[in-house]
Structure formats: C-alpha cells, structure tokens
Structure 1
C-alpha cells in the first residue's frame, strides 16, 4: 500500500506533465493525494466497463490515457453518464489520474509504442512541441523507416495485423512504395500536410475525414487510418508494465483493461 502521491510521482517520471499541451488536462482528476492505494487499473478510457472492473477487482486507482474530466463542469448530474460514473468512483473511493498528451510525447509513450508495433526503426521527431536549452526536442508523433520498401497494400495489412483492429482505411495515393513513414496516434489528421512536406511515403493516424484524405492524395502521400482506439490502446499494457517497474519496491499490483473494444465495427 502506498499513498496516491507515490503513484503520481511514478507517473510523472514516465510522462512528465510539463510535456502536455496547454489545452490538455492530465494529472489527478478524482481523489486525494493522501489516499491509500493498493491496486491500480490502467486503461485508455474511464468507461462504465472500466469502472465496473475496478470495483469488481478491488482497484483503488485508475490511470487512464484520456482524461475523464476535460472541460470545466458546471453541474454533476447523476442521471447522465459522466455524473453517474463520478458518483460510482466517489462512492467506492477510487482515484482517477490521466496522462494524455504528455504520454503521447514522452519517450517510450504512445507514439513510440505505435512505431515499434508497426515495424518502424530509426525514429526521429515529427511535430516539435518544445526545445530545451541543450537542444533536446520533444515531439508529438514520430518519423521512422521500414527495414525495406513495401507496397502500401502490404504495409496497410501489416498495420492492421499488429494492432487491435480488424480493419484499417487506406487512402491510396498511387504506386509510391513505402519506406519512410510518419505517424501520430489517436487523431492526427491535422498533420497530413506536414508529413507530406517532410517526405513521408505514408502517414499512420486515426480519425481522418474525407477532405483530409483528398488532400493526402493531392500531395501524393498514402494515409493509413487505423482508428483512434487501435493506434492508442497498445500503450495500456506498456504503461501497466512501466508502473509495475516504477512501484516494484512497494509490491504494487497493477492490472490492465483488456476488455475494451473500438466503438466502430464494419458491417
């Protein structure tokens, strides 16, 4: 058993809050820094199913990627989903923390996990978010390379097979082979033009809209939309392992959500 503050310190070492975008809301969102924590559940979203799992398995804390509370709350209606979820969390004394864009940007975080999964090496920065005095740069997304060129169809199939999804959407931009790849987990369609200008043969992300796909084709760059869920969910198990290592001296039990699925299916 440790205080919640100890868990938050471990999370800070993994994904420092200073890395987060200004609009984000990472950190401790429900609970108190001095409450006792015996078991942690790591997840992508604090859904009803995740809260039920936490209660069922006796977790005192949930560590999520997506913040449960994002914007200011003017009311807590327990007859609506968020209010009902908060009521259950408070009733069962379950703390909730989030590491969002700070975990996206952190070394070993969401984007590095995605890059490794889909077979990229020689990783470098993509969208620079900050630069330290010593020249160290932090980046949202990654640029990387495949070990050998592939057809975009083969690469899209590889991406599909290694991620928790049954399908990907391919924006085919001609017969260009794929070697250099840009990626941004979750929702990164706003960076399509940047990826093309940086020489990417293909861009892997999620939540791509029609006219964004049109832009990619006009720029001559393939896009693989693997979905918001599938490009981010792999970090859950990695974060579970990292927290287990950081809290090893306390013998903290850290479990992962393995039941959540993408909201989208293809009929």
Structure 2
C-alpha cells in the first residue's frame, strides 16, 4: 500500500538528491512561501514561478511547487497585492501552495542541471568545470541494540548512507556489549533509572558524505530506539568528490561550429541563438554551464574546450572570448528548462522506491521572456 505524505517528507527526499549546502553563498534556496506541514498529492516542477505557472498549479490541484529560480531573490520591503509581484504571492497564499527553491544547489548536484545539459548535448567523460565544494567522505559509527540493528541500517542506507561508487547499502557490523546507567529524569527504552544496564548491541559502520550527512543522521536517529543514541562521526583522510558548476565533456561526433550550432538548437529546442567564432572551426570538447556564464569564460578556456555553451553572455565578455580563441554558443538562460523533466523524473523514481503516493508534474509552460523574429 502506498503512503500518503506531507511536504516535509517530499523535501527530505529531494534534499538527498540536491542538498541545500551545495548552494553558492547568499543564494536564497529552500522554502520561500507557504508551509510543508500539509498533505501533498501533486508537485509541480517549474523553472520560474510566474503568475501563469501559479494558475497551472491551481488547475492541477498542486500544493507544492519545486522551482529552480527563486521567487524572492532580494529582501521584500512591502507586499502590495495590487502589483504583479504582490498579486503572485497573495495568490499562492490564498490557495495554500508552497514554493520550494533549488537554485545553485541543483546546478552543482551530481545528476542535476549541468549534468542534464551535458546529457542533452550527448557529452561523454564529463568533469566539473568550476569546482565549488569538496564533498568530504566520512564514516558514521552507531551503536544499536540487536533488536533494531536491521531497521537502523536500512534507514541509513535509504537516506544515502553507504553509497560507494556504483555500490549502495555498504556497511559493516560487529557485536559487543553496551553499558549505561539512566539517571534521574531519563526515560530509558531499556533499563531502570539509577541502575547499571548491560545490553547486547551491534556496532554499525557506514560511509557518508557531507552532502548526505544531515539526512543520514536524521534517519538513523528516527529509527533508533534509544532516547540518546550513541554515535561517532569521523572525517576520512581519503579525498572526497569535487563538485561544482558546469561540465566539460567530449562530443559523440566531431563537427564544425556551424554544425554544432544547429545541433544545439535542436537539442535545446531554441529557434535561434548567438555565437562567437569561426563557423568552420572544429568542435569536439565542449564546456556547458546553465544560466549566466560570464564569470566562467576563462575556466572554459583553461579546460581545453573548443566551445563554451552558456547564457546571457555580455558584449565585452564575448570580445574577450574571441581574443582567447574560444568559441561561444549562447542559446539563452532558458535552456535550464531541462530541470523540469529532470527533477520530475528523479523525484518520481525516488518517491516510488519509498512507496510514496505523490505525483510529479513538469510545468508545460514556456517561461522564456524573449521572443525571436
């Protein structure tokens, strides 16, 4: 039987995939409007939260929107309901629709926006373009009574613990005796107050990452029967995974810049785009970064890429790229729309594994403000 869930449970699953701590400094991510403590049967995934997107959510009976671009980017001084911004917020509140934002954390996440863009371009051997964070490797050790060892072990694994390369649910257990004395004020699961207790316990060791630490520990504590769970956390000396913005990879087939431009237009479903470079130049190594890539032009050049695919390129930045001999293809900021189906598919699979009764809908609306003539 499938389980009905609330917003907190859905976001807990989402943050296993795209933790908030991956976001760039001062990036407003997380819950921005509404509440999560209500039953959620449908979730709308949107690139932008505009009024017609909110109307779509209302028509679909949605109670939660997961969006990429923040609806509140700067602090609000007033909320006037007779202007577009205020009317939008008022409509969300009136219909009790929560808005949760995953911005640069979803860009950085393994399998997130930039990986979806690279996949759309059929790139292989991809690497991070701009490292922003090392996802450190840690060892979590917890002591559990034998009766609950399997429950705790499975809870940690389902929250992301024990993920090593292409293997999941990795752990090690050993048995021993735990000793403790509940003192006045304690409410022990096992034993009596002011009496020394000995319990047959299991020591469970598993690998976790910075990005999964919060969820794994919360899952462990929730499954653990003790009032005060005993656990240790150690930082491993081995290097963790380097995470960051953008990806660099190799095209399936070498082509000219002219051919590559047509390929990009097809893959991202854009009618036209801007470019910099010689149309006859050979293209094989590609750097791609969703959103605005002006700050990362040199990183793309130093990566050895033949072309940099990104949006919102400035006039003077384009001159700099041309002088460096780096081709640019700018299909616009809106190619991040890949996150709609990408997020919906990812969450559909993750929630199905947990038996959650929730539907994920990718917004059908085009929110690109630009038109081409």
Q: Which residue of 2 aligns with 1:197?
A: 302
1:3-82 → structure 2 map (5 Å cutoff): 3-82=6-85
Q: Which runs of 5+ in 1 are unaligned?
A: none
Bigger Rg, which one: 2
Aligned residue for 2:254, secondary structure, equals strand
TM-score for both structures, normalised by structure 2: 0.69
Aligned residue for 1:107, secondary structure, equals coil
Count the aligned residue pairs: 266
Quick check: 2:344–2:361 contact (8 Å CA) kept in 1?
A: yes
Quick check: 2:48–2:367 contact (8 Å CA) kept in 1?
A: no
- CA–CA distance in structure 1, aligned partners of residues 321 and 356 of structure 2: 49
Q: Pick from 81, 91, 114 the counterpart of residue 117 of structure 2.
A: 114
Q: Which residue of 2 aligns with 1:83?
A: 86
- CA–CA distance in structure 2, aligned partners of residues 176 and 160 of structure 1: 18
Q: Which residue of 2 aligns with 1:169?
A: 274
Shift of 1:135: 3.1
Quick check: 1:187–1:206 contact (8 Å CA) kept in 2?
A: yes
- CA–CA distance in structure 1, aligned partners of residues 367 and 49 of structure 2: 13
TM-score for both structures, normalised by structure 1: 0.96
Q: Which residue of 1 aligns with 2:344?
A: 240
Quick check: 2:308–2:326 contact (8 Å CA) kept in 1?
A: yes
Quick check: 1:173–1:216 contact (8 Å CA) kept in 2?
A: no
CA RMSD of aligned residues (A): 1.3
Q: Which residue of 2 aligns with 1:138?
A: 243
Q: Which structure features the higher share of strand residues?
A: 2
Quick check: 2:257–2:278 contact (8 Å CA) kept in 1?
A: no
- CA–CA distance in structure 1, aligned partners of residues 77 and 278 of structure 2: 46
Aligned residue for 1:208, secondary structure, equals coil
Query: Structure 1 residue 222 and structure 2 residue 327: aligned?
Result: yes
Query: Structure 1 residue 266 and structure 2 residue 269: aligned?
Result: no
- CA–CA distance in structure 2, aligned partners of residues 194 and 174 of structure 1: 22
- CA–CA distance in structure 2, aligned partners of residues 255 and 142 of structure 1: 27
- CA–CA distance in structure 2, aligned partners of residues 6 and 128 of structure 1: 30
Shift of 1:186: 1.1
Q: Which residue of 2 aligns with 1:207?
A: 312
Aligned residue for 2:261, secondary structure, equals helix
Quick check: 1:123–1:142 contact (8 Å CA) kept in 2?
A: yes
